[in-house]
Amino acid sequence: MTRRSGKNKDTQAKVQELVMVVMTDDLEQAKDRQALLKNNDIPAVIKEQDESTGFAVMVPEEFLDEAHVVIESQEAYDDFYDFAMENEDEDNFGADVFEDEL
C-alpha cells in the first residue's frame, strides 16, 4: 500500500480557499493589482479566465475585506491624481499666450 503525502491535500485546500477580489481586462493591470496587494502583505495570485472574461486576482478568503480596502484606496488615489492633473492642464491652457516677451 502506498501512502500519499499530505502535501497535495494542503495545496488543494489552499487553492480552494482563494476568492476573487478583482477582475481585470489585461494582464498588466492584474499584475499591478497583485503587486499592490503583495506590497500590503496580502498574498495574491492571478488566474487567467477565458479570453472574453480577462484575469482574476485571487486572495485567500480571510484577506478579502482588507484586499478590497487596499484596492479601493488605490483607485480613489488614482482618480484624485487624474482629476488634479486634468485641472492643472485646464488652468494652464493658453497661459503662455498672454505672457509678455522680454
Domain span at residue 59 reads 15-91
Per-residue pLDDT of the chain (102 residues; tens, 9 = 90+): 444 455 555 554 455 589 999 999 889 999 999 999 999 999 999 998 877 789 999 999 999 999 999 999 888 776 666 677 776 655 555 555 555 555
Structural domains in the chain (count): 1
CATH number of the structural domain spanning residue 35: 3.30.70.1530
| Helix, strand or coil, per DSSP, at residue 6 | coil
Asked if the structure places residue 2 within a domain, the reply is: no
The pTM for the full model equals 0.62
Asked if the structure places residue 101 within a domain, the reply is: no
C-alpha cell at 47: 488566474
CA distance linking residue 97 with residue 102, whole number of Å? 13
Asked if the structure places residue 5 within a domain, the reply is: no
Asked if the structure places residue 9 within a domain, the reply is: no
C-alpha cell at 40: 500590503
Cβ atoms of 67 and 60 within 8 Å: the answer is no
CA distance linking residue 5 with residue 68, whole number of Å? 35
Asked if the structure places residue 4 within a domain, the reply is: no
What is the separation, in whole angstroms, between the first and last Cα of the chain?
94
